[in-house]
Amino acid sequence: MPSNERRKQILKGLYDGVVAFDEDSVVEFSKAAIGEGVDAYDALMKGLAVGMEKVGELYASREYFVPELLLCADALYAGLDILRPHVKGGGSEESGKKIVLGVVEGDVHDIGKNLVKVMFDAAGWEVYDLGNDVPLDRFVEEQQKTNADVVGISALMTTSMLAMPRVTKMIKTRNPNVAVMLGGAPITREIATSYGADGYADNAGEAVEEAGKMVQMIQKGETAHN
């Protein structure tokens, strides 16, 4: 086992490598994490994923743009390829869970959704990414086909968000036991609840934690509206 100081150094190296879109550095520190006994799930979530959260903040503040985001994601996935096979039990308590993700019909803004996908990948979820401008029926069809635990739907425009209560109802009518999570700039927790959703994520990092809670609630026979 590495010393606490060395463990912090490796986690910071992973974080810095993602933020600086330095793929070589991420590969180097990912290998160091495995070779020196850092828990692989910690390396994923406290190194790579936290770095990607920072990248999201830099994008939101217009310090980074789409090219930087893509390079950061490449660095993150290079680390994921090395670390994921070493995550105990195949993933963590989240391993084996499935999520369908997509941006609602009429909306092509998918940067936020792409960041959310990265975080679920890092946490060991199986992700079915429908992309952007997704017809409402596709969310229902994909959930039925994959038997996903969660459907995550995002919108960036107030016009496209108006379809969210309809698609939420469509999904729930077909399968009351699937959790629906909404997100995107115009969405608040109050709006998500009023639309019939089970949960809401303010950012990519929060989305994984929220999804895990929603699945537990559904399994216990609870919903956000009980």
Q: What is the pLDDT of residue 90?
A: 43
Q: How far is CA 90 from CA 84, 94, 97, 124, 182, in A?
A: 8, 9, 11, 8, 27
Which residue ranges make up each domain of the chain? 4-90, 98-219
Query: CA neighbours within 13 Å on the CB side: how many for 130?
Result: 27
SS3 10: helix
User: Which residue type, as a one-letter code, is found at position 207?
Assistant: A
Q: What is the pLDDT of residue 57?
A: 87
In the sheet that 98-103 helps form, which strands lie side by side, from edge to edge? 126-129, 98-103, 150-154, 179-183, 199-201
Asked if residue 182 lies in contact with residue 192, where contact means CB atoms within 8 angstroms, the answer is yes
User: Which helix (DSSP H) or strand (DSSP E) does residue 98 occupy?
Assistant: strand 98-103
Q: What is the pLDDT of residues 81-132, one digit of tens each?
A: 999 888 765 444 555 799 999 999 999 988 788 888 888 887 889 999 999 9
5, pLDDT greater than 80: yes
H helices present in 20-99, as ranges: 23-35, 40-42, 50-60, 66-83
Among the listed residues 53, 60, 55, 49, the one whose alpha carbon sits nearest the alpha carbon of residue 14: 49
Domains 4-90 and 98-219 share a fold: no
The separation between the first and the last C-alpha atoms of the chain, rounded to the nearest angstrom, is 46
SS3 207: helix
Core vs surface per residue 58-93: b (16+ CB within 10 A) or e:
bbeeeebeeebbebbbebbbbbbebbbeebeeebbe
Q: What is the pLDDT of residues 194-225, one digit of tens each?
A: 999 999 988 877 898 899 999 888 877 765 55
- The CATH-assigned architecture of domain 4-90 is Orthogonal Bundle (1.10)
* 139 token code pair: 């969310």
Q: What is the pLDDT of residue 96?
A: 77
Q: What is the pLDDT of residues 21-80, one digit of tens each?
A: 999 999 999 999 999 999 998 898 899 988 988 998 898 899 999 899 889 989 998 998
Classify residue 141 by burial, with Cβ atoms within 10 Å: 0-12, 13-18, 19+: middle
Asked if residue 91 lies in contact with residue 98, where contact means CB atoms within 8 angstroms, the answer is no
Q: Which fold, 98-219?
A: Rossmann fold (3.40.50)
Q: What is the pLDDT of residues 140-172, one digit of tens each?
A: 999 999 999 999 999 989 999 999 999 999 999
